[in-house]
Structure 1
Amino acid sequence: MILYHGSNMAIDTIDLDKCRPYKDFGKGFYLTDIQEQAQRMAARTARMFKGDPTLTAFEFDLKEVMRASGLKVRIFEKPDREWAKFVMSNRDINTVQPCHDYDIVIGPVADDTIARLLRLYIENFISEEQLLRELTFSKVTSQYFFHSETALKMLKRL
C-alpha cells in the first residue's frame, strides 16, 4: 500500500527526534493511506510553519510486518473505548511518555471534533457512554504511526 506524509517540505530522512510529543499515538512519524487527508495536513503545516505543502509517499506492506518483522503492532479498527483511552493517555502532558511500547499503531485520527469530545469527557462534561455514542457519528480518517527505527525500516520512500 501507499502511505502519505503531508508536511511543509519533502521528507528525505525521517528523524524521530524531530517529531512532536502528545499526539494521538505519541511521539513518532505519522502517515495516512488517504492522499486527500495528507494534502490537507500539508497545507495546514505550510500555513503554520511556512514552506510549501508537500506530500512524501512511502510504500508499506502491513502483511509483511505482521508475518515476519517481530515488531509490536496495535491496530484500532474504529474509534471505541479502548482507542479513546489510548489517545487520551498519549495526549496527556501529565502522563509519563511514551505510555506504550508499540512500534507501529494504526487507527482513526482524533480530529478537532473528536479532540473536543475527548476534552469534554476528561473534564466530566459528558459520560463515557455519550462519548462513545458521539464517536460513532464522527467522520473517521486513518493514521499510521511509526515509533521506532526498526519500524521506520518497513517504509520504502517512493
Structure 2
Amino acid sequence: MLTVYHGATEVISSPICAFGRQRLDFGQGFYITDIKEQAIRWAKAMAGKRNSLPVINIYTLDREKYMLDGRCKVFSSYDADWLEFIVANRRGENLASEFDYIEGGIANDRVIDTVNLYIQGLVDSATALQQLAFYKPNNQICLLNQSLTDKYLQYNGSERI
C-alpha cells in the first residue's frame, strides 16, 4: 500500500480518470504522486492560476494489485523510452491509451526546456538524454483505468494548504 497525493483546488473524493487534460506526459488520466511536497507545488501552482485555495487530496493506492490487474508502464529514469513516450503524448499520439497505469518522471520546469528543444529538432536524442542525466526524476503516477482506480485507490481525506 502506498500513500499518494493529488494537488488541486478542490476536494476530489472520487477521482475520474477521463477528466484530465489531453496531451500531458502520460496522457489523459488521474495524476498522483507519492511525493507530498510535489503535490503541494502542483496545488499552489493551480490555485495561483485559478485564484483559489490549494488542496492536497490524500489516498492509499494498492499499487501491486493495480499493476497486477492492469497494463502498466514504469519509467525508472529519464531515458530514451521515456523521452519518446513523453514527446509522442504531447504531440497527441496518445501512446498512453495502451496502458492502465503509467509511472515515472515528470517533464517539469527543470527538464521541459530540454524536451522542447528535442521536439523542435534543435537537439538530437543523445544530446537531450545527456542533459536530462543531470536530473533526478520526480515521480508521477497516471491512473487511466476507471474501474481499476475505483477498486485500488482509496480516498483518505484532504488538507487545505
The TM-score, its normalising length taken from structure 2, stands at 0.89
| Structure 1 residue 132 corresponds to structure 2 residue 133 | no
User: How far apart, in 2, do the equivalents of 1:145 and 1:17 lie?
Assistant: 11
Task: Describe the superposition over 1:78-105 as per-residue Cα deviations: whole angstroms up to 9, x where unpaired.
Answer: 1100001001111114x3x465310000
Partner of 2:66: 65
Once the two structures are superposed, the pairs formed by residues 1-158 of structure 1 within 5 Å of their partners are 1-67=2-68, 69=69, 71-93=70-92, 95=93, 97=94, 99-153=96-150, 154-158=152-156
Q: Measure how far apart 1:116 and its partner are.
A: 1.5
Q: Measure how far apart 1:19 and its partner are.
A: 0.9
Q: Secondary structure at the match of 1:112?
A: coil
Residues 8, 54 of structure 1: 8 Å contact kept: yes
User: How far apart, in 1, do the equivalents of 2:141 and 2:120 lie?
Assistant: 28
Task: Describe the superposition over 1:34-67 as per-residue Cα deviations: whole angstroms up to 9, x where unpaired.
Answer: 0000000000011112321000011012222334
Unaligned 5+ segments in structure 2 are: 157-161
How big is the alpha-carbon RMSD for the aligned residues of Structure 1 and Structure 2? 1.5
Q: Measure how far apart 1:124 and its partner are.
A: 1.7
Unaligned 5+ segments in structure 1 are: none
Partner of 2:159: none
Q: Measure how far apart 1:156 and its partner are.
A: 0.6
Q: Secondary structure at the match of 1:143?
A: strand
Count of residue pairs the alignment pairs up: 154
User: How far apart, in 1, do the equivalents of 2:18 and 2:100 lie?
Assistant: 15
Q: Secondary structure at the match of 1:117?
A: helix
